[in-house]
Structure 1
Amino acid sequence: MPAVKKEVRSRLCPLSSSSNGAACAAWATARSRPPALVFILAMTVLLAGMFFNLSCAPRQAAVEVETEGALLIPSQEEEIRLRAYHPEVELVLTWEDEDSGSAAVVVENIAADSIEVKVTPVAGQDAASCKVKKESPTELTLAVKGSGTQRLELKPSSAAAASAGKPFQFAVVGDSQGRNEVLAQIIEKVNSSDVDFLICLGDLVASGGDDEYRVFQETMAALNCPYYTVPGNHDVKGDGVDYYRSNLGPEYYYFDYSGCRFFFLDSSSLGIDDAQLAWLEGNLNDEELPGFVFLHVPPVDPRGNDHAFLAPNQAQALIELVTAPTSTVQAVFSGHIHMFLHSEISGVQFVVSGGGGASLYASADEGGFHHFALCKLTSDGLTVEPVKVEVPPHPEELVINGAEGDIIFSQDELDEMAVLKKELCFQNQLGNFKGKGVYRGVPVRDLLEKAGGMEPGDTLMVYALDGYSQEFAYENVYPESCDWAERQGEMALAVEYNGKSVPEWPEGYRIVFFPDDGVYDNKDCKFTSAPGQGWHLYQSAGGRWVKTVIRLEVVPCQSQE
């Protein structure tokens, strides 16, 4: 696994809050005193600060950090913060000064109850002392004092290690896709399921935004066990892959746990390349451990549809590799298809678990329900059972934030205003045409004018239930104000699709366009996207057709300056 290196420079220890308070009080008093007294008070404050700084400085010598199995996370505190993406973590601390130093190390996403810490000095030095404090079921703080170079190994305790090969459980969930209220309910059930860890199968967020990732991680903080992830195609939109690498882990890696090998692959590009396949093959059978493979996009769609690898040769290569007679792989888990599916190829289980919150692709009877998969590994093999969760009802109201205040439209009110009806479709980033059907909708301009309208230069923000959002220009709402009318047509909020309304239509309410030919393709999207919006951020006409819309907000031009 890759090593990550970070150097932490020492800083003078700040005054304590009590000393700062005294200093501020002294300075406030000095401002109303004679000059001589001001000088005396100023010198007193200066000497006090020097005393506190000198007394604190030796505690934080400069230390260099190298890690394996964990990422170094930026922190505002005087500490080294790590996020583990592996059940075992190795940490090397090197103090620049010959004298002893100290370091506070916080390790997140680790099984705090079953971890032992071993300290080994390098080059014959004395071993450092290390005090371990459990902060939560998944967080430890290590208070380390030592000198030179010290290696710290965090591994499952001897009791836990002795249980290798014994039955254990883990959970799998895919495609929360920003529906964090559903994810929170899944976490509650996972916490009561006695699992060793949770594996997230990608599409953690709606569109790769930093804020989306932060909310995802805040939601996951309620989990009482570690979780490991693979990236999905939604996670790497925009600059999402950079946040993923910096805060969650590498795109692909493996670890061994309880006598099994867990492989995490990157199929966020709707496939995996030859280099990744070669890496998997090279690590698959080297210790003859039972193997489990996790990725976002499945190599093939069990339904016979197109939610799978784009390149058939890549799909075939992966399937042949994991089902070969010499392969030790027992199961392949994927998401991307928003339902639960369980099949088998040449004795290898193929599980699709995409019910983490995103809109579902089938009826409940066909596997279209929100869930996580509970996986039990015993001497008899692997069993996988979906655990259903009840989700909050789909909101049937729409909120408009406008210049004249907020307005809430009921479903009945929207239905009465839906005067547009036509067969439409859009083109996605792969060039495929999707969403074909008859839409009935309300002109967005009619909705906005109920709350004060929209002026040239204003921006319309459209917010979805899963946290996804899109910005639109005045010209999108009023396409006749420029030359967009033919290519885009009226911008509308669809309330019905092929005769189905919310909640029977799980993707409604949805932003749609009514071009003359009924087809909103990628060329149309490029032509009708203002600078810094739409096509210029994500090259997909489908990205503009925001689904599960819950709120429209008009942002005045002057507010953007």
Structure 2
Amino acid sequence: MLAKQSKLYMSTRYARAVWIGLAGLSSCQWVEYSPNQTYLPVAERAQTARNLARLRETASPSTDTVRFVFIGDTQRFYDETERFVQSVNQQRGIDFVFVAGDISDFGLTREFRWVHQRLQQLRVPYLTVVGNHDLVGNGRAIYQAMYGPLNYTFRYQGTQFVCLDTNGREYGFNGRVPDVDWLHTQLQDTVGTRRSVVISHVPPMDEDFDSTLVAPYTAAVRQYGPRLALHLSAHVHRFTAGQPYHDGITYLTTYSLAKHRYHIITLWGKRQFRLETVQYGPQA
């Protein structure tokens, strides 16, 4: 009888220890119930709004110059992201960093969190636009929870930045992405704007852009050409620059973090810009 009681006591104590351990893990958010879960801690939500608020605090009415880092495709390049952050933090006079999509590879919460945990070590705010890989699985919901709207506009130092979802293939080329009407509406709003920049993930020259929308999209950009400084994208993992539609609009794509390079773009005046390339590691 005593042996049975002792055995029962040991079983109860073991079960209690296991329950306490699991409860502790849960409270520390170490338990992941599904790789497709969309839960995010409150501190990691609404990063676009949080970083825009930080950016507004640094705005200066005495200058119209903007200097920012432009990069794309952090997907799975976690070590490279850490080195990227270290390099950017050594730069002077940077207003913000812009990551042009494909933050994740498989649209998983853990991927978004791992990248954010590294990028939040930047000394300046960082902003993003959604990429095609960010829309895989539950990625769209996760991106919206962590960052915010897929299409949004902000102004800084007289520059209007129009950031939009151009990942047509992920929507089955349904004729609605990118939202050309929304793009028109934003570019028409010139209040407080000296120049505009359009930022997307997939450039209109790429096969993942809805081919039925290339003409209306580029026409919308061309219409506002006199004050549109640049069209910026990522997706192709390499640097390209040119005027493919022969309309005076410069379309530029940037590197992925695997290339150990990024761009610093400086804007001033009406449409003036300067492009610098920083290499911070071995060539890929």
What TM bracket, shorter-length normalisation? Answer: 0.7 to 0.9
Task: Specify which structure has the higher proportion of helix.
Answer: 2
Give the letter aligned to residue 341 of structure 1: T
Q: CA deviation at 1:325?
A: 5.7
Question: Alignment partner for residue 282 of structure 1, among 159, 163, 185?
Answer: 185
Question: Alignment partner for residue 245 of structure 1, among 144, 150, 158?
Answer: 144
Question: Alignment partner for residue 51 of structure 2, among 88, 98, 109?
Answer: 109
- Asked if 1:338 is matched to 2:280, the reply is no
Q: Is the 2:266–2:274 Cα contact (8 Å) retained in structure 1? A: yes
Distance 1:196 1:297, change over 3 A: same
Question: Alignment partner for residue 347 of structure 1, among 248, 272, 281?
Answer: 248
Query: 2-side partners of 1:187 and 1:259: how far apart?
Result: 27
- Asked if 1:263 is matched to 2:166, the reply is no
- Asked if 1:296 is matched to 2:186, the reply is no
- 1:318 matched residue in structure 2: 217
Give the letter aligned to residue 272 of structure 2: G
Distance 1:191 1:320, change over 3 A: same
Q: CA deviation at 1:156?
A: 2.7
User: Percent identity, aligned pairs only?
Assistant: 26
Task: Specify which structure has the higher proportion of strand.
Answer: 1
Query: 2-side partners of 1:204 and 1:213: how far apart?
Result: 6
Q: CA deviation at 1:286?
A: 2.1
Distance 1:81 1:275, change over 3 A: closer
Q: CA deviation at 1:347?
A: 1.8
Question: Which secondary structure state, in structure 2, belongs to the residue aligned with residue 162 of structure 1?
Answer: coil
- 1:173 matched residue in structure 2: 71
Give the letter aligned to residue 260 of structure 2: H
Q: How many residues align?
A: 235
Q: Is the 1:235–1:244 Cα contact (8 Å) retained in structure 2? A: yes
- 1:381 matched residue in structure 2: 272
Give the letter aligned to residue 286 of structure 1: D
Give the letter aligned to residue 86 of structure 2: E
Question: Alignment partner for residue 212 of structure 1, among 98, 111, 134?
Answer: 111
Query: 2-side partners of 1:179 and 1:328: how far apart?
Result: 35
Distance 1:275 1:213, change over 3 A: closer
- 2:262 matched residue in structure 1: 372
Distance 1:252 1:386, change over 3 A: same
Question: Which secondary structure state, in structure 1, belongs to the residue aligned with residue 134 of structure 2?
Answer: coil
Give the letter aligned to residue 186 of structure 1: F
- 1:59 matched residue in structure 2: none
Query: 1-side partners of 2:99 and 2:178: how far apart?
Result: 23
Distance 1:274 1:336, change over 3 A: closer
Query: 1-side partners of 2:113 and 2:44: how far apart?
Result: 16
Query: 2-side partners of 1:268 and 1:299: how far apart?
Result: 10
Q: CA deviation at 1:295?
A: 0.7
Query: What's the TM-score once normalised by structure 1's chain length?
Result: 0.39
Distance 1:222 1:337, change over 3 A: same
Q: CA deviation at 1:168?
A: 2.5
Q: Is the 2:167–2:177 Cα contact (8 Å) retained in structure 1? A: no
Question: Which secondary structure state, in structure 2, belongs to the residue aligned with residue 313 of structure 1?
Answer: helix
Question: Alignment partner for residue 356 of structure 1, among 235, 254, 257?
Answer: 257
Q: CA deviation at 1:74?
A: 4.4
Q: Is the 2:167–2:178 Cα contact (8 Å) retained in structure 1? A: no
Q: CA deviation at 1:111?
A: 6.7
Q: Is the 2:45–2:147 Cα contact (8 Å) retained in structure 1? A: no
Higher relative contact order structure (alpha carbons within 8 Å, sequence separation ≥ 6): 2
Question: Which secondary structure state, in structure 2, belongs to the residue aligned with residue 199 of structure 1?
Answer: strand
Query: 2-side partners of 1:274 and 1:327: how far apart?
Result: 25
Q: Is the 1:111–1:225 Cα contact (8 Å) retained in structure 2? A: no
Q: CA deviation at 1:232?
A: 0.9
Q: CA deviation at 1:343?
A: 1.1
Give the letter aligned to residue 109 of structure 1: N
Distance 1:331 1:211, change over 3 A: same
Q: CA deviation at 1:386?
A: 2.4
5+ residue gaps, structure 2, are: 1-39
Give the letter aligned to residue 87 of structure 2: K
Distance 1:174 1:300, change over 3 A: same
- 2:123 matched residue in structure 1: 224
Q: CA deviation at 1:285?
A: 2.6
Q: Deviations over 1:3-40 (max 9, x none)?
A: xxxxxxxxxxxxxxxxxxxxxxxxxxxxxxxxxxxxxx
Query: 2-side partners of 1:327 and 1:203: how far apart?
Result: 30
Max radius of gyration: which structure? 1
